Amino acid sequence: MSVLVTGGAGFIGSNFVLDWLAASDELVINLDKLTYAGNTENLQSLQGDPRHVFVPGDFGDSALVANLLAKHQPRAVINFAAESHVDRSIHGPEDFIQTNIVGTFHLLEAVRAYWGGLQDSARQDFRLLHVSTDEVYGSLAKDDPAFTETHRYEPNSPYSASKAASDHLVRAYHHTYGLPVLTTNCSNNYGPYHFPEKLIPLMIVNALAGKPLPVYGDGQQIRDWLYVKDHCSAIRRVLEAGRVGEVYNIGGWNEKPNLEIVHTVCALLDELRARTDGKSYREQITYVTDRPGHDRRYAIDASKIERELGWKPAETFETGIRKTVLWYLDNQSWVANVQSGAYREWVEKNYAGRAA
Ligand code: NAD
Ligand code: TYD
């Protein structure tokens, strides 16, 4: 038996592959295009492991995907591949349309053809699990109830609009062709191997480098945060027992304003790797121009997955963020290796124009 994972060299995908193979011997075919966000170093511990087949390539390449499906006959496809960063989608939306919408469409077509040719029981057992985000639901006011699975779609950024479109395609392939799909919409993840363009790893990396900690706007935007390994366990559970055609929201019951997140990171670094001048890392916080169209609040109601599938996060924010900061302190060479010229160009592009 095997599963095909797309985007398994990215942040969540690589954590998923590592956790999968820590828990089972089932073969993982890992298809990843290795964009700036894909990093084979995340998978270094699997080098030479016959349970992991890494294939560099595009999930939108139907011929390649058809070949992989025919060759390995996976019982499931888990789709992580995407462009995932809101700020990048603002600077350059086209990649998001191509990858998240057109790429997902091509994947669906290849999977539909494969699934259509399976024999009875394999056909019945097959699943396509599409990994999506809470951002498709738009922005909540302070006292609004958290997003449930039936919340209307109201995406506000090119990123969330492209993910919303991919969710709709996945839904349509179930409704029209009967493709056995599952969709998960998860809140903000954090943890090991998180590329330092997103809030938490950027703050850790900048703090340690003595650089400014750029807080957008007033820093009171709220996100729900989930430790990445809890997201991975939720996906495994949905794959195992989720009802075909259903959507499951995944979250950590853990809403926090950005500024509180930055303060927590500073406090942990003050404790674990104090600045040589004895001052707090908080001194490095700089308020910068807000993100255009910045969603004010996301909150996930994760009661369906808890009620139906018995899933709950294992980490609290306090335990998860401590593990995360420790991981970055222990993996400085990983951090150095991802800060390539292209990374520095991105930082320049995103932050140079934001007046302090
Ligand atoms: P990421 O940007 O770290 O990784 C994406 C991976 O996809 C990279 O390895 C990249 O090389 C690969 N990829 C991109 N285009 C590809 C293509 N055409 N073919 C094959 N591979 C391709 O993203 P992430 O944070 O790991 O997110 C993974 C998925 O989870 C995405 O679909 C994202 O929308 C969703 N998600 C992310 C979060 C979060 O907080 N990061 C939360 C909820 C949902
Ligand atoms: P991010 O990690 O990019 O995730 P998302 O936009 O998908 O939620 O950003 C999380 C929050 O942190 C978001 O409200 C934007 C904010 N933010 C900053 O304040 N400063 C930064 O440098 C970054 C990257 C994000």
Ligand 2 midpoint to CA 199 (Å): 5
Helices (H) and strands (E) counted in the chain, each on its own, are 14, 12
Total count of domains within the chain: 1
Ligand 1 midpoint to CA 276 (Å): 37
Tens digit of each residue's pLDDT (9 = 90 or more) over 68-108: 999 999 999 999 999 999 999 999 999 999 999 999 999 99
Ligand 2 midpoint to CA 347 (Å): 13
- The residue segments making up the domain with residue 36 are 2-191+226-256+297-317
Asked whether residue 311 is assigned to any structural domain, the reply reads yes
135 is catalytic: yes
159 is catalytic: yes
Ligand 2 site, CB within 6 A: 86, 188, 198-199, 202, 214-216, 221, 223, 258, 291
Asked whether residue 324 is assigned to any structural domain, the reply reads no
Inter-residue contact 74 to 239 (CB < 8 Å): no
Tens digit of each residue's pLDDT (9 = 90 or more) over 323-340: 999 999 999 999 999 998
**Residue 11: pLDDT over 90:** yes
Residue 5, Cβ density class (10 Å: 0-12 exposed, 13-18 middle, ≥19 buried): buried
DSSP per position, 44-90: GGGTT-TTEEEEES-TT-HHHHHHHHHHH--SEEEE--S---HHHHH
272, 257, 266, 271: which is closest to 285 by C-alpha? 266
Asked whether residue 168 is assigned to any structural domain, the reply reads yes
Nearest ligand 2 atom, CA 203: 22
Q: In the prediction, which pLDDT does 356 show?
A: 66
Tens digit of each residue's pLDDT (9 = 90 or more) over 271-326: 999 999 999 999 999 999 999 999 999 999 999 999 999 999 999 999 999 999 99
Give the chain's end-to-end CA distance (angstroms, integer): 54
Asked whether residue 50 is assigned to any structural domain, the reply reads yes
Number of the ligand closest to the Cα of 166:
1
Inter-residue contact 1 to 20 (CB < 8 Å): no
Tens digit of each residue's pLDDT (9 = 90 or more) over 32-55: 999 999 999 999 999 999 999 999
**Residue 189: pLDDT over 90:** yes
The three-state secondary structure class of 276 is coil
Asked whether residue 58 is assigned to any structural domain, the reply reads yes
Query: How far is it, in rounded angstroms, from Cα 173 to Cα 181?
Result: 8
240 is catalytic: no
Asked whether residue 271 is assigned to any structural domain, the reply reads no
Residue among 258, 266, 295 whose CB has most ligand 2 atoms within 8 A, to mutate: 258
> What is the band of 201 on the pLDDT scale with cuts at 50, 70, 90?
very high
The three-state secondary structure class of 269 is helix
Residue of 32, 58, 83, 134 marked active site: 134
In whole angstroms, how far apart are CA 287 and each of 104, 260, 266, 318, 349? Answer: 37, 14, 15, 25, 17
Asked whether residue 289 is assigned to any structural domain, the reply reads no
Residue 184, Cβ density class (10 Å: 0-12 exposed, 13-18 middle, ≥19 buried): buried
Nearest ligand 1 atom, CA 226: 40
Residue of 32, 114, 137, 159 marked active site: 159
**Residue 355: pLDDT over 90:** no
Q: Which residue lies with its CA nearest to atom 14 of ligand 2?
A: 221
Inter-residue contact 131 to 8 (CB < 8 Å): no
The three-state secondary structure class of 30 is strand
Per-residue HEC secondary structure of 120-170 comes to HHHHHHCEEEEEEEHHHHCCCCCCCCCECCCCCCCCCCHHHHHHHHHHHHH
Structure tokens at 277: 């001048």
The angle formed by the CA atoms of residues 286, 292 and 297, to the nearest 5 degrees, is 80
The angle formed by the CA atoms of residues 155, 240 and 165, to the nearest 5 degrees, is 20
Average per-residue pLDDT in the chain? 98
| CATH code of the domain containing 232 | 3.40.50.720
Query: How far is it, in rounded angstroms, from Cα 158 to Cα 258?
Result: 21
Asked whether residue 264 is assigned to any structural domain, the reply reads no
Q: Which residue lies with its CA nearest to atom 41 of ligand 1?
A: 189
Q: What is the DSSP letter of 283?
A: G
